[in-house]
């Protein structure tokens, strides 16, 4: 992931009830998380988020194994699938013909690339 500028530190967090009212979409990476998020959304009165499986945007492969116990090639495969899925998702949301992303970008502001709000 270093070659893509993606840190491998733990940056995940739990979905909160507020997320269902704040976000337009909540994208899950596996069926287990999808079921859990759907279950949690049923407890929220003002759920506006559309809950979807991120991998459903990949026409090549719907399910991918967690690369955690794998090797660099496994992480690269998940990265490439993630890029394909995110581009397809953004094209759906933004509409066809508009660029989804110029390049992949780290999940946190990096300050190093032109897409980053911290870039100087």
Spans of all domains in the chain: 2-94
pLDDT (average), residues 5-12: 78
**Catalytic entry in 19, 24, 66, 72:** 66
Residue ranges of alpha helices (H) inside 13-104 are 17-22, 31-41, 72-94
CA distance 21 to 17: 7
Q: How confident is the model at residue 5, as a pLDDT?
A: 83
pTM listed for this prediction? 0.73
Q: Based on the residue annotation, tell me whether 74 is a catalytic residue of this protein.
A: no
Q: Does position 102 have pLDDT exceeding 90, yes or no?
A: no
CA distance 35 to 63: 15
pLDDT band at 120 (very low <50, low <70, confident <90, very high): very low
What is the CATH code for 2-94? 3.40.50.2300
Nearest to 25 by CA among 88, 79, 110: 88
pLDDT (average), residues 30-47: 94
Spacing of C-alpha 8 from chain mean position = 15
Q: Does position 76 have pLDDT exceeding 50, yes or no?
A: yes
């Amino acid at each position: 992931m270093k070659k893509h500028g993606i840190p491998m530190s733990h940056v995940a967090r739990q979905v909160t009830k507020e997320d269902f009212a704040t976000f337009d979409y909540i994208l899950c990476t596996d069926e287990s998380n999808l079921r859990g998020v759907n279950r949690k959304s049923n407890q929220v009165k003002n759920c506006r988020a559309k809950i979807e499986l991120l991998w459903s945007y990949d026409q090549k492969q719907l399910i991918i194994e967690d690369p955690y116990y794998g090797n660099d090639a496994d992480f690269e495969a998940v990265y490439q699938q993630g890029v394909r899925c995110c581009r397809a998702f953004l094209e759906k949301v933004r509409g066809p013909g508009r660029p989804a992303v110029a390049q992949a970008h780290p999940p946190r502001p990096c300050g190093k690339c032109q897409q980053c709000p911290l870039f100087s």
